[in-house]
Amino acid sequence: MKEYNVAVVGATGAVGNEMIATLEHRKFPVKKLTLLASSRSVGKTLEYKGMDIDIEELKEDSFKGIDIGLFSAGGSISEKFAPIAAASGCIVIDNTSAWRMDPDVPLVVPEVNEHAIKDYTKKGIIANPNCSTIQMVVALKPLHDAAKIKRIVVSTYQAVSGTGKKAIDELEKQVLAIYNNKPLETKVYAHQIAFNCLPHIDAFLENDYTKEEMKMVNETKKILEDNNIQVTATTVRVPVFYGHSESVNVEFEKDLSPDAARKILKKAPGVKVVDNPSKKLYPLAIHAAGKDETFVGRIRRDESIPHGLNMWIVADNIRKGAALNAVQIAEVLIKKYL
């Protein structure tokens, strides 16, 4: 099997760490792994296949000889360095929001629209969708194929790891402070996150939606390749370390029973149905953490409309919502297009 020179940009972050682990776990054919980060991380190492690999400073000449670059270092970094990497012959798979809505950049979830990867040739960049969008469309695509979706109403309950390591540390410190009756520090979020829910992810826009909510609206339409689908979202940060949960209400053009939906989803790639209310079995964030699958349960009729279903969708936001999806894109890329 041919091997490839791979770079991970933002290697020291939570998603960067998971990308490295995923490359190893899935036995991606890496010839040489280059780990790139800011100058602050130079001198540190990260482990890959039992070897300590030095972290190098991200520079404009970092991509010479690199075949595939997995980016997870912030939108401004991707805006600057993704075109530089692409110009040097490196195919960029970008985990930030910088390129997602660019009409010349494919926005890909392999289980949903693998065929779109072919369009990487336009700019040399493939975009990884938002974590909350990924898990939703993995579950909804096979149902859309069966009964055609008209409208989606989604409320998310998103783990702090979606914000990064500083947010994970803040939640942990706040919980400890509360139990030890000490003052709380709130730096990452606008309000206390411990034992609280914040209906506020990313900045507010002129329409009073947040950027996170509009990402779900716009990305869903692009990935499902249907601008007629109506989508509305409310995104909430909750005191969970790993795993995003979503309450999803879907209106279809024709009837789809809960049993039919379960049968379809049980055969769908990347999906695991956990749905037995009588035994209190339904997807939980604590069970999804560390897993690759998207878990779906609480599938039931929406009795307020003719062709509606409600469901509960959970996935590990760092794995399927970020690192795993990026590596899966790379796997399709080398199998079908390189």
Each residue's pLDDT tens digit, 82-92: 999 999 999 99
C-alpha to C-alpha distance for 299 and 273, rounded to whole angstroms: 9
C-alpha to C-alpha distance for 78 and 41, rounded to whole angstroms: 18
pLDDT at 1: 85
pLDDT, averaged across the chain: 97
Each residue's pLDDT tens digit, 234-285: 999 999 999 999 999 999 999 999 999 999 999 999 999 999 999 999 999 9
Number of residues that this document lists for the chain? 338
Q: pLDDT confidence of 311, banded at 50, 70, 90? A: very high
DSSP of 195-230, one letter per residue? T--BS--S-B-TTS-BHHHHHHHHHHHHHHT-TT-E
pLDDT of residue 298 exceeding 90:
yes
Residue range 132-317, CATH number? 3.30.360.10
- Residue-range domain boundaries for the chain: 4-129+322-337, 132-317
Known catalytic residue: 25? no
> What mean pLDDT comes out for the span 13-27?
97
Each residue's pLDDT tens digit, 184-239: 999 999 999 999 999 999 999 999 999 999 999 999 999 999 999 999 999 999 99
C-alpha to C-alpha distance for 259 and 307, rounded to whole angstroms: 14
Catalytic one of 115, 197, 244, 287: 244
Buried b (16+ CB within 10 A) or exposed e, 327-336: bbbbebbbee
pLDDT of residue 146 exceeding 90:
yes
Known catalytic residue: 131? yes
Catalytic one of 25, 90, 115, 131: 131
C-alpha to C-alpha distance for 224 and 112, rounded to whole angstroms: 7
Q: pLDDT confidence of 170, banded at 50, 70, 90? A: very high
pLDDT of residue 19 exceeding 90:
yes
CB 219 within 8 A of CB 213: no
List, in sequence order, every beta strand (DSSP E) within the chain. 4-9, 30-37, 45-48, 51-57, 68-71, 91-94, 125-127, 149-158, 230-237, 244-252, 271-273, 294-301, 308-315
Residue range 4-129+322-337, CATH number? 3.40.50.720
Joined together, the tokens standing for residue 254 give 């024709």
Q: pLDDT confidence of 154, banded at 50, 70, 90? A: very high
Angle between helical axes of 131-147 and 211-224 (0-180°, round to 10):
40
